[in-house]
Structure 1
């Protein structure tokens, strides 16, 4: 497929442009420009297959903002965004810059293994390099993440950190031992740290919507990032041994909703409510 007329950065040599990338597709869902023809082609097909997909992505971005602001209000000023994707509207560092207390020392690190996502992150963080950075690493390898020089420079693991896994474990298969990976992160997180996760589901979805999103998940099997849907029971098990931050395990739109959202303020969210679980666990 042609990549003529791209607005995204020139692709590095080892980027496979024959298959769409979930990070760049998600950027397209949110109205970003850091994607290629192959990603837009898939995104348009996905939009036809499941017409709520863009609204779902935008609602997920709103949830991210609410979690970051809640963490700041709880005194947590360090953020590790795993599988961060392409930085689009409502980035973690933007929220932190706006809402962190003046006398705090905020830190943000984006982690992704997608070349374009990391390259663009590095560009937009040039002026914030003293307190924010981007790392190219696979979230399934916590040791590699924690051993990265940028993470070690910016994140003090003796203090609470908010680890974000926003709509990314949908792309981590059962064979990757999600509970084991999460436990390896928790073991390095100081007491009081937060683990925030959102994940696609069909548990409470209407029959037609469940069928649509299940078919879309099958379509993702043809991309660089196959997708999985998971039920509430499996999602809940990921927080075993942690204290759930109020309101606990709820649908995305029910987690501390704002009367007026900071991003995508006119979004109609009721239809997408059943398609995501979300929760924040606190390390004891």
Structure 2
């Protein structure tokens, strides 16, 4: 479906494959593993982030299902791993949810198609090749080729995606377009790397990590402040508890330790 994937690059670490490794997955290469371990050596929160982010995704999908949403678009879905959107949704509402996975990284797209062929319903679950900045073209193709109902609520997921979008690419404008297309009652789920501004040690380590991504990886990483991340939600209404550290968003059990240790903020917002 849609455009061809980006060319396969095995000379540099891939953000998606590094994330897969941090989660304990096997869809990665030596170059990804070596790069990931280098970042972990700088600060352990790199792996903490990956785990906390995946758990946040699961809770957000569960919230959407429990609130009647049955359509999901996962932008920048990455490599399949435990707790995929369709798996979480189908555990709560078997046979009801439509899920569209969108990624332009060739390995992520290929593995998503294989996963869905083996474990999913081809009438409800789709692996779509497309780029976030496709904007109107991407959204039109998703609706036309997957049969999503543009008049019913959609849960749009941009989880661990936007911190790979440089400021000069103006991701705010592209996301604003997607928000405008969402029907009433839709949800935007978003997580983004960030750090406690008062934690000098974490700020220094984060600077080293973003430099490493810029020099060595296929994607550059960009930290944003809480206020900057908040702008991605536009005029949507934030769901309680708002934009918080990942472990603080509707946790299944009491939060232990320092919530900022996840190195990322997450939130869910609803369109009136």
TM normalised by structure 1 equals 0.87
Contact 1:107–1:154 at 8 Å: present in 2 too? Answer: no
Structure with a larger share of its residues in helix: 2
Unaligned runs of 5+ in 1: 1-11, 261-266
CA distance 1:37–1:136, shift in 2 (3 Å)? same
Aligned equivalents of 2:159 and 2:104: distance in 1? Answer: 15
For 2:228, the equivalent position in structure 1 comes to: 234
Does 2:245 align with 1:251?
A: yes
CA distance 1:257–1:149, shift in 2 (3 Å)? closer
The alpha-carbon deviation at position 154 of structure 1 amounts to 3.7
Contact 1:83–1:139 at 8 Å: present in 2 too? Answer: yes
CA distance 1:13–1:82, shift in 2 (3 Å)? closer
For 2:104, the equivalent position in structure 1 comes to: 113
The alpha-carbon deviation at position 273 of structure 1 amounts to 3.8
Contact 1:112–1:138 at 8 Å: present in 2 too? Answer: yes
CA distance 1:77–1:13, shift in 2 (3 Å)? closer
CA distance 1:271–1:48, shift in 2 (3 Å)? farther
Aligned equivalents of 2:197 and 2:249: distance in 1? Answer: 16
The alpha-carbon deviation at position 144 of structure 1 amounts to 2.9
Q: Describe the superposition over 1:138-173 as per-residue Cα deviations: whole angstroms up to 9, x where unpaired.
A: 112122322326763242121100000111101001
For the aligned residues, what is the CA RMSD? 2.1
Unaligned runs of 5+ in 2: none
For 2:201, the equivalent position in structure 1 comes to: 208
Aligned with 2:181 (options 185, 188, 198): 188
Please give the residue correspondences for 1:47-126 in structure 2 after superposition, counting only pairs within 5 Å: 47-100=40-93, 102=94, 105-126=96-117
The alpha-carbon deviation at position 278 of structure 1 amounts to 1.2
CA distance 1:269–1:194, shift in 2 (3 Å)? farther
Q: How many residues were matched structurally?
A: 265
TM normalised by structure 2 equals 0.91
The alpha-carbon deviation at position 49 of structure 1 amounts to 1.6
Contact 1:63–1:255 at 8 Å: present in 2 too? Answer: yes
